[in-house]
């Protein structure tokens, strides 16, 4: 029985269906890989945003410190000048300016204290975010590498199946091979050879004729009168 055209066609179909599955799978891989890259980029952006928050608070503290330094040096200058001033009103104006600087310094110092608390908070939050994101990125990297090696395996199997295909087609009569190929390359994802459980066509589900039922029981390949798919009886190949 092993050399019957039916057996050969079924073997060919098995290879072709596997080939189809693999190609479909391969087609979805770039999209899956791009999704992983997009997820990673999002995580990197999230870490970047957390780092930027810390930087922004540090910058604010630095600006306040610069302001304090400026006010201190301005007060130092005023003190030096005040020693040379003769007029009491001018002297008083300088003292007022120094007093105003002192006030501004006090305000800046208060803002620094608040900003320092905020810095601790954004640092803590940032570290937490980075830790979680790094772990997730590590997982994504593993996932990506798995998909990449999987795609190599799939490509190799496709190449193997394609090179074996001509060998599987030998000795199949053209009268069977051409309709088989036409159905294979036609619309739909149905296999060209289908069984007929309860004498219903496995493709279109309509009742097959008595004549067709007898033919497939004998181990022949028959064509469905309705949809032209190729019918066979699995018991005849056992």
For residue 194, give the DSSP letter: E
Reported as half-sphere exposure (CB side, CA atoms, 13 A), residue 210 has a value of 0
CB of 149 to Zn ion, least distance (A): 41
> Would you put residue 214 in left (φ > 0), alpha (ψ -120 to 50) or beta?
alpha
Please state the closest distance from residue 203 (CB atom) to Zn ion, in A.
5
Residues of this chain that interact with Zn ion (CB under 5 A) are 201, 203-204, 224, 226-227
| Among the listed residues 36, 48, 37, 41, the one whose alpha carbon sits nearest the alpha carbon of residue 130 | 48
Whose Cβ is closer to Zn ion: residue 19's or residue 229's?
229
Closest CB to Zn ion among residues 157, 199: 199
In the complex, the smallest distance separating the C-beta of residue 43 from Zn ion, rounded to whole angstroms, is 52
Strand order in the sheet with 193-195: 193-195, 230-232, 222-223
Tell me whether residue 63 or residue 226 sits nearer to Zn ion (CB atom). Answer: 226
Q: Find the helix or strand (DSSP H, E) in which 85 lies.
A: none
9 vs 112, beta carbon nearer Zn ion: 9
Q: What is the nearest approach in angstroms of Zn ion to the Cβ of residue 207? A: 10
Q: How far apart are CA 180 and CA 4, in angstroms?
A: 15
């Amino acid at each position: 029985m092993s050399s019957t055209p039916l057996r050969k066609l079924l073997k060919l179909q098995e290879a072709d269906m596997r080939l189809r599955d693999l190609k479909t799978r391969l087609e979805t891989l770039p999209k899956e890989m791009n999704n992983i890259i997009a997820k990673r980029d999002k995580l990197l952006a999230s870490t970047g945003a957390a780092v930027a928050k810390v930087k922004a608070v540090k910058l604010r503290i630095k600006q306040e410190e610069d302001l304090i330094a400026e006010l201190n040096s301005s007060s130092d200058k005023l003190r030096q000048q005040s020693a040379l001033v003769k007029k009491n009103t001018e002297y008083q104006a300088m003292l007022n300016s120094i007093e105003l600087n002192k006030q501004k310094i006090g305000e800046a110092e208060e803002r620094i204290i608040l900003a320092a608390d905020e810095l601790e908070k954004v640092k803590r939050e940032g570290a937490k975010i980075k830790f979680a994101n790094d772990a997730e990125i590590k997982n994504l990297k593993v996932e990506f590498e798995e998909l990449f090696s999987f795609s190599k395996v799939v490509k190799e199997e496709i190449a193997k199946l394609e090179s074996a295909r001509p060998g599987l087609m030998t000795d199949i009569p053209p009268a069977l091979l051409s309709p088989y190929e036409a159905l294979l390359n036609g619309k739909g994802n149905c296999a060209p050879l289908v069984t007929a459980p309860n004498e219903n066509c496995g493709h279109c589900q309509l009742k097959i004729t008595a004549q067709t039922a007898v033919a497939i029981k004998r181990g022949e390949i028959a064509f469905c009168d309705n949809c032209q798919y190729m019918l066979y009886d699995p018991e005849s190949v056992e």
